[in-house]
Amino acid sequence: MPKPSTIFVCQSCGSVHAKWAGRCDACGEWNTLVEEATHQKSKTSSSRSKKGRGMDFVDLGGESADVPRMKTGIAELDRVTGGGLVPGSALLVGGDPGIGKSTLLLQATGKLAENGFKTAYISGEESVGQVRRRAKRLEVASTPVALAAETSLGHILDGLMAEKPDVVIIDSIQTLWSDQLTAAPGTVAQVRACSQELTRFAKKRGACVILVGHVTKDGQIAGPRVVEHMVDAVLYFEGDRAHQFRILRGHKNRFGPTDEIGVFEMRDTGLSEVPNPSALFLDGRKDAASGTAVFAGLEGSRPVLTEIQALVAPAAFGTPRRAVVGWDSGRLAMVLAVLEARCGVSFAGKDVYLNVAGGLRINEPAADLAVSAAIASSIFDIALPSDAVVFGEISLSGDVRPVGRADARIKEAAKLGFKRVITAQSISKTDKKTASVLPIIAIKTLRDLITRVEEASEKSDPSDSAASDSVWQT
């Protein structure tokens, strides 16, 4: 009989410690070490495994049957997953409380059941009555979905073996517990063990298992990071609950592209998909307003236009403030440093506020030029051309560099009625076909952009954008 031993596992990062401490050495969190019982591996089991049958190897170029995907009936969800759910896969969906994880998955489960797939929805947080009331509100109560409220992993696996569903929803993984462990539900050991067993069930039985995960205060999925490596896809819900928009972003996908997004709108009857997010993010935008610029971004394979808003104001206190919503604060500090060092624009004693309208979070460096244009527009109190989109990457030397897939960005801008593009100079030389779609205002360095904004400010009234239009010619 192996001798039992005790280890201490951090509930924040999953690191293992030999003894208890008030602070985790790996992540720095306080009071997160929890005692767990484990058993040492016996010598007899290790010797027995060495005498067992070896692995069977096959050729890399062998033939494998393509498994058809299961369409959820929600186009935005199918886009993020790469074209639909894959049988035998495991997905992890995370997001803030109340952002719409359970709502979207219950809608998807109902549509899958309508399309002939056998589905099961297992809730560990709500009772059967609560789920039924939500299903009536979402108008999916009449669909043939197998519903259960259970937290015991053993009972769940036994029920799934008997039911044999095609799609399984587990809401949520933090509520499950296995009787093989003495740890409490929601601990690192329980989350890891339950995720492993459910992933193994998905691979063996050919079912698609979708796990709902809680998030921490930092916005990361709670539990050990190893859970994200177990599953085949990780999807995050983004957006503020104050907005009606919800953005589902793919951070990992073994069956499709990553960083793909699906845009939804929260309504009384659930989440409604938004087929054209660019028009939604630009809705209500004023034509002539200083401190704004329209950025032509790229989210996965989809071009998305959004408004970037900037405000530069005198600092009320001694230390200037830098507030950013929807963009990287470190990237903003770099852009401000380039503007000050290469263009002579001083931000001493000035607060800088930056916001991406609509709740979208931008991660690509192609927004550098649009952020710079919005900041310059706010400093000189002059509106940029309302019919122009801006994109381009800025180097530390002040040069404006071209970005990938400029043709898709320009075509999306032309589809929404924009008339010109402000971007890197090399775009107009290397891609004549793209340049023929919309005229391009070539910007070689960041100083060229600041010069045009200064000239527009000198020639016209701040509220009159038409008088300064001659400055923004190709």
pLDDT at 461: 59
Lowest mean pLDDT among 36-50, 240-254, 302-316: 36-50
Please, are residues 387 and 463 in contact by the beta-carbon 8 Å criterion? no
CATH 3.40.50.300 describes domain 75-275: yes
Torsion sign, CA atoms 374, 376, 381, 385: negative
Average pLDDT of span 94-107: 90
pLDDT at 285: 78
Higher-pLDDT residue of 202 and 318 is 202
Q: Summarize pLDDT for 275-316 with one digit per residue, the tens.
A: 888 888 887 777 778 999 999 999 888 899 999 999 999 998
Please, are residues 155 and 163 in contact by the beta-carbon 8 Å criterion? no
Average pLDDT of span 216-243: 74
Q: Summarize pLDDT for 432-449 with one digit per residue, the tens.
A: 555 567 889 999 999 999
pLDDT at 373: 96
Count the neighbouring beta carbons within 10 Å of the beta carbon of residue 297: 25
What is the spatial distance between Cα 311 and Cα 291, in angstroms, rounded to a whole number? 6
Instruction: Extract the tokens encoding 358.
Output: 């609509």
What is the spatial distance between Cα 231 and Cα 251, in angstroms, rounded to a whole number? 12
Q: Name residue 114's beta-bridge partners.
A: none
DSSP 340-371: HHHH----TTEEEEEEEGGG----SGGGHHHH
Question: In sequence order, what are the residues at sequence separation of 6 or more whose Cβ sits closer than 8 angstroms to the Cβ of residue 167?
Answer: 70, 85, 109, 112, 117, 118, 119, 120, 207, 208, 210
Q: Is the pLDDT of residue 229 over 50?
A: yes
| In the block, residue with structure tokens 């509100």 | 137
Please, are residues 98 and 244 in contact by the beta-carbon 8 Å criterion? no
Helices 329-343 + 446-459 axis angle, to 10: 70
What is the spatial distance between Cα 68 and Cα 327, in angstroms, rounded to a whole number? 38
Annotation: CATH topology of 280-460: Ribosomal Protein S5; domain 2 (3.30.230)
Helix (H) or strand (E) holding 102: helix 101-114
Please, are residues 309 and 374 in contact by the beta-carbon 8 Å criterion? yes
What is the spatial distance between Cα 172 and Cα 186, in angstroms, rounded to a whole number? 10
Q: What angle do CA 146, 151, 152 make, to 5 degrees?
A: 105
Average predicted confidence (pLDDT) for the chain: 86
The pLDDT > 90 percentage for the chain reads: 54
Count, residues in the chain: 474
Average pLDDT of span 389-403: 95
Q: Summarize pLDDT for 401-425 with one digit per residue, the tens.
A: 999 889 899 999 999 999 999 999 8
Domain ranges of the chain: 4-39, 75-275, 280-460
The 3-state DSSP class for residue 49 equals helix
